[in-house]
């Protein structure tokens, strides 16, 4: 993946198709700014899906570690892996 290009919202608006093509063909992300503040990133869909899988795998590994620790400490006061995942998703949402 190439270094990202930083462009303002108005710049991106004038050539969005080029920004998308650049992300897809050249694997170059574009960071979009608004009033000088970074707001969003345009990346290739395959890269997005790869990053999602990595995040989901990391979350699952972390939850499994927590469940293993809880199991080794006993079951009193513990919750199931599914309950823990639901609680974490509620907190994030």
pTM score above 0.75: no
Q: Which residues of the chain have pLDDT under 70?
A: 74-78, 93
- What pLDDT is attached to residue 67? 79
User: Do 4 and 28 touch, CB atoms closer than 8 A?
Assistant: yes
- What pLDDT is attached to residue 76? 64
Gap between the terminal Cα atoms of the chain: 30
Retrieve residue 31's tokens.
Answer: 């960071």
């Amino acid at each position: 993946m190439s270094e990202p290009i930083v462009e303002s919202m108005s710049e991106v608006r004038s050539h969005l198709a080029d920004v998308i093509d650049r992300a897809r063909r050249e694997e170059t992300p574009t960071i979009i700014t608004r009033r000088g503040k970074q707001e969003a990133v345009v990346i290739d869909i395959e890269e997005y899906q790869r990053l999602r899988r990595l995040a989901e795998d990391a979350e699952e590994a972390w939850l499994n570690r927590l469940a293993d620790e809880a199991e080794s400490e006993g079951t009193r006061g513990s919750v199931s892996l599914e309950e823990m995942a639901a609680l974490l998703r509620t907190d994030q949402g």
